[in-house]
Amino acid sequence: MRSRNSGPAKAGHYVLLVALFLYAGAIADAQRGRGAGAAPAAPQGRGQASPASQRPPQTATPQQYPAEQIEAGRTRFAAQCGFCHGRDAGGGEGGPDLTRSDVVATDVRGDRILPLVRSGRGNMPPFNLPDTDLMAMVAFIHDQKTQAESAVGGRRSVDVSDLQTGNATAGKKYFDTACTRCHSAAGDLAGLAARVQGLQLLQRMLYPGGPPRDPKRAAQVTVTLANGQTVAGRLTYRDEFTIGLTDASGWYRSFPTKQVRFTVDEPLQAHVEQLGKYTDADMHDVLAYLQTLR
């Protein structure tokens, strides 16, 4: 367990725990999973610090709220947000621990939280609530975060130090067999561990979701029309009846699946298939290996 001062506690140094807000919603939607928003850029600071010394993002700008506003927010939050995020904002059914969210850590009086709540994100629906209610909820979330920063544990916390059970040598061996068709340690994954750590690295390793850093790695579709003409682009929408793509000029185009032929190249499918092959030891070994790619 860590005391409050055992880690790099400088304001402004926060590990890039990707905005865990993105996990809202008890029902995962593979098409719109995490990472749907851009990962916030974080200062790298002590990139070489041992994983165990890394801690949740700290509040960048300390803020004070009146007690009445926090209390009003407590009841509003419980009713509207509590199922997914927990009554204490420490995580609930499907939704992440907001006291460890990068969005909350960098929020100043709702400037990051409010737009997200109003528009929704990933599986989190938009909330149309009066501003006074929303600000009360912001006050409550910040207060909970302040309290969580002085507490140990945390209901849904997963620390980088928790994940250090793998063997990097075994992980490299596994990687060289299972992953090198698409990835290379010196290529696309160079410096990976300097960008992503801990739970986020594990999650991205298992299934990256969201738009890839390299657009060339997005799922591609080639549609052949009845007249033989072909249209290719990034796969943008797909259900049983409609296939949609974004072409090289940035235009969205859709086609009825019954009237065209199409082929989809979906690189992430390899990650889905790998989920059924990993043992837990494999998973931890590969994570250990990826952590060496700095």
Partner 1 sequence: MLTKRTVLFVFFDVFVAFVLIVGAQGVDPGLLLKPTADSWPTYHGDYTGQHHSRLTQITPANVNQMTLAWAFQTNQGQAVKATPILVNGVIYVSTVDNLWAIDARSGRQIWRYTYPQSQAFNIGHRGVAVRGDLVYLTTRDARLLALDARNGTVRWNVEIADWRRGYWCTNAPMIIRNHVIVGVSGDFDNLPGILRSFDADTGKPQWTFNSTPPPGTPGSISGGATGGQMWMTGTYDPDLNLYYVGTGNPTPVLNGPVRPGDNKWTGSIVALNPDTGEMKWGFQAVPHDTHDWDAAEVPVLVDADFRGTRRQLLLQASRNGYYFVLDRTTGQSLVTVPFATTNWATGVDADGRPIPNPEKEPKRDGRLVAPDESGGTNYRSPSFDPSNGLLIVSAHDAYGIYFFKPEHGAHGWAGADYTVHGRGVLRAIEYQTGRIRWSHDLHGGAGTAGVLTTATGLTFTGDSANNALALRSSDGSTLWHSGIGRVGNAPITYELDGRQFVLFGGGTALYAWALPQ
Nearer Cβ to partner 1, position 190 or 272? 272
Nearer Cβ to partner 1, position 63 or 83? 83
CB 182, min distance to partner 1, A = 16
Nearer Cβ to partner 1, position 241 or 251? 241
CB 124, min distance to partner 1, A = 13
CB 108, min distance to partner 1, A = 27
CB 55, min distance to partner 1, A = 14
CB 24, min distance to partner 1, A = 11
Query: CB-side exposure of 19: number of CA atoms within 13 Å?
Result: 23
Nearer Cβ to partner 1, position 69 or 164? 164
CB 136, min distance to partner 1, A = 12
Nearer Cβ to partner 1, position 127 or 185? 127
Nearer Cβ to partner 1, position 44 or 50? 50
Interface ranges with partner 1 (CB under 8 A): 1, 23, 26-33, 75-76, 78-80, 82-83, 86-87, 91-94, 97, 125-128, 152-158, 162-165, 199, 202-203, 206-207, 209, 238-241, 271-272, 275-276, 278, 280, 283-284
